[in-house]
Amino acid sequence: MPEVLVLLVEDDDLVVAVLEAAFEEGGYKVALATDRAAAISELENDPHRFHAIVTDIRMPGKLTGWDVAHRARQLVPTIPIVYMSGDSAKDWAANGVPSSIMLSKPFAVDQAVTAVSQLLNQVPPNAV
């Protein structure tokens, strides 16, 4: 079967390892970006390459996960967005995009995989 690619934007090696294993168990492929600027470059180069974005909010550098999602939705308005955060979760109501899911840490890996599957299953086939 052709691949369904999730862009994972996260710099904690342990979280990356656990999420990669769980998404692959669920039949997804994972492309990793440990740096937000790099993530945005990849999105701009080939916006339709990714089927969903799973992003941490805070990482080293100026850009935040809010910025990654904002840029992704400018490029592909229907792309599913899942945010992960601890102390930034409370800012989701002001900074998140519509139809996104905020996973407040701690969360179980199945929450992340189910979040992506739910959001993909909701995208109407006629949306662009």
Give the number of other Cβ atoms within 10 Å of residue 93's Cβ: 8
Q: Does the footprint of a second copy cover residue 3 (CB under 8 A)?
A: yes
Single residue of 8, 28, 33, 61 touching a second copy by CB under 8 A: 28
Quote the strand ranges of 4-126, DSSP E: 5-9, 29-33, 52-56, 81-85, 101-104
Determine the Cα–Cα distance for residues 67 and 97; give it in Å rounded to an integer. Answer: 10
Site residues (CB under 8 A) for a second copy, limited to 61-120: 70-71, 73-74, 77-78, 89-111, 113-115, 117-118, 120
Task: Kindly state the smallest distance separating residue 89's Cβ from a second copy, in Å.
Answer: 4
Closest C-alpha among 29, 54, 50 to residue 109: 54
Interface positions with a second copy (CB under 8 A):
1-4, 14-15, 18, 22, 25-28, 70-71, 73-74, 77-78, 89-111, 113-115, 117-118, 120-121, 124-128
